[in-house]
Structure 1
């Protein structure tokens, strides 16, 4: 991957949802929920093409999250038994 190139990644979740703050933490974009709140106020994040800065925003399978200059994340249902 080139420097500055954004990632595209599928994120598999357990039903029914994951929050935006949890996604940022699990993808190592931030280290804690407090950092997620700050991060979302300072950086552009789109959920399904719309700007969103709520760390409690529920993300469901089929949603897309575009974290500017970091990557595009596709929320998928974990099918593992």
Structure 2
């Protein structure tokens, strides 16, 4: 489990995946999102510009990110 401290109101999903080092580049993040490999609050989500906020949970590649 990864706990990510949010600075501000939200973080785009692609930036969150990069900031937690689950992907190496923004391009890679876009690919994994469009291929349906990322879950947002328990549901597969295909939105690249999704705004992740406090108390949201993102899952990818066996890792769970909790945004605080």
SS of the residue corresponding to residue 53 of structure 1 reads: coil
Residue ranges of structure 1 left out of the alignment (5+ in a row): 1-7, 77-81
Structure 1 stretches (4+) deviating beyond 3 angstroms?
A: none
Larger Rg: 1
Which residues of structure 2 form unaligned runs of 5+?
Answer: none
User: Which residue number corresponds to residue 79 of structure 1?
Assistant: none
Give the number of equivalent residue pairs: 68
Q: Normalising to structure 2: TM-score of the pair? A: 0.85
Provide TM-score, normalisation by structure 1. Answer: 0.73
Map of 1:52 onto structure 2: 45
